[in-house]
Structure 1
């Protein structure tokens, strides 16, 4: 019934709350300028514990403009399943990490972009992510993405929708965009890098209910019939 990623995880307690609430993936920000940055050695320790406790949950590293070689090395060294490329990486970077990464495109008003060169090749994950554009931040801004454009892309991509989602807005977002999955960070926080357990639980429960109402996402984008 749709894919839910809780991003910006910085502590084991927050990861456990997300997983117990039903998250399909947890994200760790490996961008040093982010207020949600987690040092690689700490990510490795968290991933080792989560691999034992919740092997079914995807562990995602969020990278911004890192060399492909470093991303590949950290995927292996830290025990990450996927890399989320969240900066200005070219399509060539995604291709070099084929099968291990997906690209998030930040939707800038008035600057159309062709998503097709950025289509990922994850077998069981998103083929594309979207977030809001901001001039001075790579994600975690709390600003909504362009839902109209995202809805068009969701018809042909396994789209992971991010950007300003909260427990109060995620049902409307799913109804309007019909994404394959949703991604939230600041919308379920008490403060940057600190999750609010109640908001995490409400976000996931609300998303599940919304997908139940509109129909589960199909394997290749768009929505399956709900019957």
Structure 2
């Protein structure tokens, strides 16, 4: 099975195009103000309009007001919604778009419960738990916690980089992998949210190699 890949937290049209050319199946746009990768609607629309055919545009929200989601959808051509907070399934499903739900993993039971609660989702994104952050931590978690029996497609996130994504795919065999900070510039002067095209290319080469 081919494992797909999403480059999340894209903040420029150039990086959206670079991710698409590298072979990414999707790019993620963040609509959550506390995130350093957050976008306003005008910027998000500009980026989305540069994404080529057959590459999905995913909008990431964290505990949003329904009116905010609808406002974004009215102006940004999103293919898929990603809910990364404490949203209930009924909330996620009200917008007439396919959606995925993120779960921050501490125990295997967290994932098993999410499979049941969000059974109408198009996928379940499993990420590292942090009591203070809704994703984007750059931290991984124990992949052995992911059940073998998966009623929904599993999207693996949390601490992925070009150096470990191949091993992650081989061990977990997820439907997709999701990366943000792992393909950004490194070093003390680096700014979160600024993607590194060379790291995007390296990440996607590893995904394609294992596939």
Regarding TM over 0.5, the answer is yes
Q: Indicate if the aligned counterparts of 1:99 and 1:121 stay in contact, CA closer than 8 A.
A: no
CA drift at 1:134: 0.8
Indicate the residue corresponding to 1:165 in structure 2: 160
SS at match of 1:166: coil
Indicate the residue corresponding to 2:195 in structure 1: 195
1:152 and 2:148 equivalent?
yes
CA drift at 1:94: 2.3
Indicate the residue corresponding to 1:62 in structure 2: 60
SS at match of 1:152: coil
**Distance between the aligned counterparts of 1:99 and 1:164, measured in 2?**
28
Q: Indicate if the aligned counterparts of 2:3 and 2:173 stay in contact, CA closer than 8 A.
A: no
CA drift at 1:109: 4.6
Larger CA deviation: 191-200 vs 70-79: 70-79
**Distance between the aligned counterparts of 1:108 and 1:142, measured in 2?**
16
1:93-112 deviation digits (Å, cap 9, x = unpaired): 22324642111111135873
Indicate the residue corresponding to 2:208 in structure 1: 208
CA drift at 1:14: 1.0
Larger CA deviation: 65-74 vs 22-31: 65-74
CA drift at 1:158: 1.1
1:45 and 2:58 equivalent?
no
1:175 and 2:166 equivalent?
no
Q: Indicate if the aligned counterparts of 1:4 and 1:181 stay in contact, CA closer than 8 A.
A: yes
Indicate the residue corresponding to 1:89 in structure 2: 87
Q: Indicate if the aligned counterparts of 1:103 and 1:120 stay in contact, CA closer than 8 A.
A: no
Q: Indicate if the aligned counterparts of 1:36 and 1:192 stay in contact, CA closer than 8 A.
A: yes
- Structure 1: which 5+ runs fail to align? 212-227
Indicate the residue corresponding to 1:80 in structure 2: 78
**Distance between the aligned counterparts of 2:3 and 2:110, measured in 1?**
27
CA drift at 1:157: 2.1
Alpha-carbon distance change, 163 to 15 in structure 1, aligned in 2, over 3 angstroms: same
List structure 1 runs of 4+ shifted beyond 4 angstroms. Answer: none
Alpha-carbon distance change, 5 to 120 in structure 1, aligned in 2, over 3 angstroms: farther
Equivalent residues, number: 203
SS at match of 1:112: helix
Q: Indicate if the aligned counterparts of 1:2 and 1:180 stay in contact, CA closer than 8 A.
A: yes
Q: Indicate if the aligned counterparts of 2:103 and 2:110 stay in contact, CA closer than 8 A.
A: no
**Distance between the aligned counterparts of 1:36 and 1:112, measured in 2?**
27
CA drift at 1:3: 1.1
**Distance between the aligned counterparts of 2:171 and 2:76, measured in 1?**
36
CA RMSD of aligned residues (A): 1.8
